Amino acid sequence: MADHQEPGSEADEAQAAAPAPDRDEDDFLPRRDLLDRIDAAVEAGDTDALNALLEPMHAADIADLIERLHGAGRRAFLTLYSDQIDGEILSEIDEAIREDVLEYLPREVLAEAVREMDSDDVVDLIEDLDEPERAEILAALDDSDRAAVQQSLAYPEYSAGRLMQSEVVTAAEHWTVGQTIDFLRAEEWLPEQFYHIILVDPRRHPIGYVTLGRLLASRRDVPLRDITEDSFRTVSAYAEEGDVAYAFNQYHLISAPVVDSDDRLVGVITIDDAMSVLDEEHEEDILRLAGVGEESAITDSVFETMRQRLPWLMVNLLTAIFASLVIAIFDETIQRVVALAVLMPIVASMGGNAGTQTLTVAVRALATKSLTGSNVWRVVRREAIVGVLNGLAFALVMGLVAWIWFDGASLAAVIGIAMVVNLAVAALAGILIPLGLEKAGADPALASGTFVTTVTDVVGFFAFLGLASAVLL
């Protein structure tokens, strides 16, 4: 693809970016001066120089480069480079900006790119597109590829059926090692990466699989049946992708055959797909816990960023006003003992933090399926005990601080008791709210944080100010 040879030095540089002794982590990223040179080539409108610079780069790194560009910069880049974008780069580009990129692709480049892609990547590409673009891409595919993509799209979103690729290597159940090797040698087309040969019966029901290592190590006359793996398990095309990813992680699967409702083989899911799903689920958890829309990306525009965050801030405003209403009940008490206004945020803040700690551990445990029926009550009990003990510890510390600061033993007692109450409630809210959401079929990470801090603010203010008005007045 490089049109001339001079920039060989840059090519070497990019190669050197592969991890090697005595290199630091930044070597996993394209080097800064390479990026500068790419910028310069784009600015100069020098297609040849740009192609030569990008030629040695991995598709994933080129995709990242495109993601990091913005506005005019991205447009300029795509105008120069669009005819070099292949299926690999296209499947690496983040969903959020894919439509932008598609607009710049000459139709024949796009058609060529989708023809090289595995069916799962095509599905991933077109499932979010509007009808005209979708139809255009489908039209570019061969009949059999198109049928495979359409079959995949017929399964629900986020199902194994959407995640699988239809390119599968199968063998008849009665074949020997030798027959299988001869078949593979004769086969014109094989997937880029495959890790198992799936044994199927005449009705295409998968009945076992053989690892390629085992196949290679066995004599030609050995029947495939004799060397199948114990770990064989199939995945329903209707299974939820999160559960599939869990199974890959839990059972160290490398690929898994996917079957339809008649138990017939329809595709295969490989570990890189499972890894992406795990990554996305983690992203969702961490963003949802923080009250950020789960599709947030660092590449979002100002407008998109606001759209992701405003709703949660609005919810937070409502709950903050709700907590303020509790304070307002006790406004006369505060007017008489202004120390209460000084100290009350401490009680609320400690509750909020303790609740968030419990919540995060609970959400993570639910996500990894390590908090289940069999240990849930033990965990709830542990959290409650920890809440009370932490409450007692901080009651002591904060009681002393309040006593010294405001010279009042009753005030010290009030803040101490409020601290124990709020930290115990925080612990319970932190575990019971995500469990409740999970039970109700919702994502335990979603809005949990807001619920928990609402509880700890309200309880914190109420316990502290309520006790104070009873004791101090």
Three-state secondary-structure class, residue 210 = strand
On the 0-12 / 13-18 / 19+ scale of CB atoms within 10 A, 466 is middle
**Binding flag, residue 400, a second copy (CB under 8 A):** no
Phi and psi at residue 7, to the nearest 5°: -75, 25
On the 0-12 / 13-18 / 19+ scale of CB atoms within 10 A, 374 is exposed
CB under 8 A: which stretch of 74-82, 96-104, 112-120, 341-349 binds a second copy? 341-349
Between 60 and 147, CB nearer to a second copy: 60
DSSP 172-203: ETT-BHHHHHHHHHH-S---SS--EEEEE-TT
Three-state secondary-structure class, residue 209 = strand
CB under 8 A: which stretch of 12-20, 99-107, 113-121, 125-133 binds a second copy? 12-20
Contact pick of 44, 172, 397, 442 for a second copy (by CB under 8 A) = 397
CA–CA gap between residue 89 and residue 17 (Å, rounded):
19
Percent of residues in the chain assigned helix, strand, coil, to nearest 5: 65, 5, 25
CB under 8 A: which stretch of 74-82, 134-142, 145-153, 344-352 binds a second copy? 344-352
> Which tokens go with 210?
């053989």
In the complex, minimum distance from the CB of residue 249 to a second copy, in angstroms, rounded to a whole number: 6
In the complex, minimum distance from the CB of residue 290 to a second copy, in angstroms, rounded to a whole number: 4
In the complex, minimum distance from the CB of residue 133 to a second copy, in angstroms, rounded to a whole number: 26
Q: Are 428 and 387 in contact (CB under 8 A)?
A: yes
> Which tokens go with 4?
């001339």
Contacts 24+ apart (CB under 8 A), 14-18: 14/56, 14/57, 15/56
CB under 8 A: which stretch of 109-117, 121-129, 136-144, 235-243 binds a second copy? 235-243
Contact pick of 148, 163, 268, 348 for a second copy (by CB under 8 A) = 348
Site map (CB under 8 A) of a second copy, residues 151-180, x = contact: ---------x--------x-----------
Site for a second copy in 201-230 (CB under 8 A): 211-213, 215-219
Between 76 and 341, CB nearer to a second copy: 341
Between 105 and 254, CB nearer to a second copy: 254
Site for a second copy in 116-145 (CB under 8 A): none
Between 143 and 230, CB nearer to a second copy: 230
CA dihedral 409, 415, 417, 422 (to 10 degrees): 180
**Binding flag, residue 404, a second copy (CB under 8 A):** no
Site map (CB under 8 A) of a second copy, residues 80-119, x = contact: ----------------------------------------
Of the CA atoms within 13 Å of residue 124, those in its CB half-sphere come to 22
In the complex, minimum distance from the CB of residue 375 to a second copy, in angstroms, rounded to a whole number: 5
Q: Are 49 and 41 in contact (CB under 8 A)?
A: yes
Residue with tokens 């991995």: 58
Nearest to 37 by CA among 18, 5, 14: 14
In the complex, minimum distance from the CB of residue 137 to a second copy, in angstroms, rounded to a whole number: 22
Between 140 and 360, CB nearer to a second copy: 360
Between 52 and 237, CB nearer to a second copy: 237
Site for a second copy in 274-303 (CB under 8 A): 275, 278-279, 282-283, 285-287, 289-292, 296-302
DSSP 357-389: HHHHHHHHHHHTT-S-TTTHHHHHHHHHHHHHH
Between 138 and 254, CB nearer to a second copy: 254
In the complex, minimum distance from the CB of residue 245 to a second copy, in angstroms, rounded to a whole number: 10
What residues form DSSP beta bridges with 197?
A: 210
Contact pick of 131, 142, 143, 187 for a second copy (by CB under 8 A) = 187
Contact pick of 349, 408, 466, 472 for a second copy (by CB under 8 A) = 349
Contact pick of 317, 400, 470, 471 for a second copy (by CB under 8 A) = 317
In the complex, minimum distance from the CB of residue 136 to a second copy, in angstroms, rounded to a whole number: 27
On the 0-12 / 13-18 / 19+ scale of CB atoms within 10 A, 402 is buried
CA–CA gap between residue 426 and residue 391 (Å, rounded):
10
**Binding flag, residue 385, a second copy (CB under 8 A):** yes
**Binding flag, residue 40, a second copy (CB under 8 A):** no
**Binding flag, residue 345, a second copy (CB under 8 A):** yes
Site map (CB under 8 A) of a second copy, residues 43-72, x = contact: ---------------x-xx--x--xx-x--
Contact pick of 1, 72, 132, 185 for a second copy (by CB under 8 A) = 185
On the 0-12 / 13-18 / 19+ scale of CB atoms within 10 A, 317 is exposed
**How many residues line the site for a second copy (CB under 8 A)?**
147
The residue type of 278 is L
> Which tokens go with 120?
């799962």
Between 45 and 251, CB nearer to a second copy: 251
